[in-house]
Amino acid sequence: MRIGIDAEPLSAPCAGIPRFVSNIVRELERIDHENLYYLYSRHDFALPFANIRWQKRIHPRVPVVLGSPYLRRDARRPGLDLFWATRSAFPVGLPPAVTRVLTVHDLVWRICPETMALRNHLVHRLLGSASLRRADWIMTVSEATRRGLVEVLGSRAERISVVYHGVDPSFAPQDKSGSARHIAQQYSASENYICTLGTIEPRKNLITLVRAMKILRERGDFPYQLLIGGQSGWRNAEIYASVRKCGLTEHEVKFVGPVREEDLPAFYSGSALFVFPSLYEGFGLPLVEAMACGVPIVASNVSSVPEVVRDAAVLVPPEHPEDFAQAIFRVASDSHLREDLVRKGLHRALDFRWETAAQKVLGAFIEISRLRAEVIG
């Protein structure tokens, strides 16, 4: 097959969707020795391999979803056999003869639209809805998202498969004191810290976490600094201001900005616990990375989070700072509970492998192409 891929995520910072796409591409190149791949993007990007069966198609002036000239040319008969839309939307003008495979990472635009910028919401609502109707096959990154597609949007369950994220082998338990010391030096932080990771935006529910830190400070005897890692997103002025409004300083809550890729295993490993208060997640990759690093977790009990962590975390309602404060203090002060969560988390993390994810993606490509050929034939 000649397979086209929306590769624009490969030029973005390596988090969330970009991390998913880059790892699937890397593993597909390793396991698939037959098909030809064409990677379409408005921005150039680096590939970790050289393979003549993989070709970049860079057109700087036209986004992939609008259908770049290279894509329109390659899609003509006898052109592309299949196109994989990696960001929930197909390019405009994709010929009917091309089999369409769509990955839906989440349903934020439908379930939590208030946590999205208006422009992003409109783009997802218009292009995402149309793409769902046109897809020959849909892949989601969690059962929670799959259920949402069926129950909320009426998609056909029999044409949806679940492809979990994987976790890189670099995410493994490291020396705790050494990791904490490294993070403290690199990010001007305390060696005694708890942490969270994600884009600084309303959906990550960081104000609830800041309020929980205020409660812990007022109770006294909580010696940990909260480190918030992640790039700045949208509508976050109130998030930054919440620290001051709660009477906290940088010694109690510190925004460290994007954590360098090479520092992430140490960032998790050096922390006393990982906190994830998100209002909604399509998957929640930081949860898996934290489990793989042997870190106990306190997280919200919504969307895909319970599915990902199972019994390897203390789960609480995301709207309740008091519950988060209580759970954080309980995990931080109970060594037996921490050991139990770490053991369960390490075991659960073994279920997430990029090779397995890529095999499922390739299997979906082959199966839907076969089924469509039978229908046409």
pLDDT at 3: 97
Domain ranges for the chain: 2-166+353-376, 176-349
Segment-wise mean pLDDT, segments of 10 residues, the chain, 377 residues: 96 85 97 96 94 95 86 84 92 91 90 73 74 93 95 90 96 97 98 97 96 96 95 93 97 97 97 97 96 98 98 97 98 98 98 98 93 74
pLDDT at 120: 72
pLDDT at 88: 80
What would the CATH number be for the domain defined by 2-166+353-376?
Answer: 3.40.50.2000
pLDDT at 129: 81
pLDDT at 116: 67
Closest by alpha carbon to 89, among 1, 2, 6, 4? Answer: 6
List of E strands, the chain: 2-6, 36-41, 54-58, 82-85, 99-104, 137-140, 160-162, 193-197, 225-229, 253-257, 274-276, 297-300, 314-316
pLDDT at 109: 82
Q: What confidence tens digit (pLDDT) does each residue in 264-283 have?
A: 999 999 999 999 999 999 99
What would the CATH number be for the domain defined by 176-349?
Answer: 3.40.50.2000
Determine the residue type at 257. G
| Whole-angstrom distance, CA of residue 217 vs CA of residue 219 | 5
pLDDT at 77: 67
pLDDT at 76: 81
Closest by alpha carbon to 121, among 235, 209, 285? Answer: 235
